[in-house]
């Protein structure tokens, strides 16, 4: 089944791009990881950029599904935002080892001047829009997008430093701070 092999390739490439980076991952690495030949590989993806597109689209789909799930499971918008903040802890081990999958890919592609950089930034946009919607539901109106970007930025910074210093305590402290910040924002909303 072509779809299965394609998916196995994308899964392996996704992981390797995250753990080693796009540039540092070769065709042979991915093929070896999947256990297929380079020739078979080429039948599914003509160029390295094709794999990158596939991986980004795969991540976009998976992220969308995750956000949709949170939309259902989260009791209220504030709780949903807290779910987002807590990915930092849920994925803490990976983040300390490899950083944030979204941020590090976006940074690398920006440096490579790669055409797919804007597609990778689309992953950020997915989170940004979702967070914005949650803030809107909480009643923040026009300021919602700026709050969404603020949360996104804070998360990125925490991921970068937790990775650089391999510091789990910092990660937890900053997650707590972000939750306090969120409560403050909601409290201030009531007093205006």
**Burial status of residue 149 (CB atoms within 10 A of its CB: 0-12, 13-18, 19 or more):** middle
71 vs 109, which CB is nearer to its own copies? 109
Handedness of CA 156, 162, 165, 170 (dihedral sign): positive
Maximum alpha-carbon separation in the chain: 65
From 44, 53, 92, 124, residue interacting with its own copies (rule: CB under 8 A) = 124
Burial of residue 5, with CB atoms counted within 10 A of its CB: 0-12 exposed, 13-18 middle, 19 or more buried: middle
> Which pair of tokens denotes residue 32?
């070896």
Q: Which is nearer to DNA, 25 or 155 (CB)?
A: 25
Phi-psi map region of 167: left, alpha, beta (phi>0 left; psi -120 to 50 alpha)? beta
Binding track, positions 24-63, relative to its own copies; x by CB under 8 A = x---------------------------------------
Confirm or reject binding of residue 165 to its own copies (CB under 8 A): yes
Q: Which residues bind DNA (CB under 7 A)?
A: 1-2, 5, 25-29, 36-40, 42-44, 46-49
Calpha distance 16→84 (Å, rounded): 24
Nearest CB to DNA, comparing residues 51 and 147: 51
108 binds its own copies (CB under 8 A): yes
The CA–CA distances, whole Å, from 74 to 9, 69, 80, 124 equal 33, 8, 5, 20
Instruction: Kindly state the tokens that stand for 88.
Output: 């930092």
Q: Is 189 in the site for its own copies (CB under 8 A)?
A: no
Task: Work out what residue 27 binds among DNA, its own copies, none; the CB cut-off runs from 5 to 8 Å by kind.
Answer: DNA
Give the DSSP letter of residue 75: S
Is the Cβ of residue 1 or residue 187 nearer to DNA in the bound state? Answer: 1
Q: How far is the CB of 141 from DNA (least distance, A)?
A: 47
Task: Check binding of 106 to its own copies (CB under 8 A).
Answer: yes
For binding to its own copies (CB under 8 A), which residues are involved? 19-21, 23-24, 97-99, 103-104, 106-108, 110-112, 120-121, 124, 146, 149-150, 152-158, 160-161, 163-165, 170, 173-174, 177
């Amino acid at each position: 089944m072509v779809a299965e092999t394609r998916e196995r390739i994308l899964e392996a490439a996704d992981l390797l791009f995250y753990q080693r980076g796009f540039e540092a991952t070769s065709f042979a690495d991915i093929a070896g990881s999947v256990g297929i030949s380079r020739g078979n590989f080429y039948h599914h993806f003509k160029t390295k950029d094709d794999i990158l597109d596939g991986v980004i689209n795969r991540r976009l789909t998976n992220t969308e599904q995750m956000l949709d799930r949170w939309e259902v499971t989260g009791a209220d918008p504030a709780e949903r935002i807290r779910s987002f903040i807590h990915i930092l802890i849920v994925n803490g081990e990976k983040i300390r080892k490899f950083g944030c999958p979204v941020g590090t890919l976006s940074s690398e592609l920006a440096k490579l001047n790669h055409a797919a950089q804007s597609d990778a930034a689309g992953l950020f946009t997915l989170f940004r829009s979702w967070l914005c919607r949650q803030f809107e539901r909480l009643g923040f109106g026009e300021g919602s997008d700026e709050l969404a970007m603020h949360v996104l930025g804070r998360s990125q910074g925490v991921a970068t430093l937790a990775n650089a210093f391999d510091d789990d305590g910092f990660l937890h402290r900053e997650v707590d701070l972000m939750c306090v910040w969120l409560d403050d924002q909601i409290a201030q909303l009531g007093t205006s």
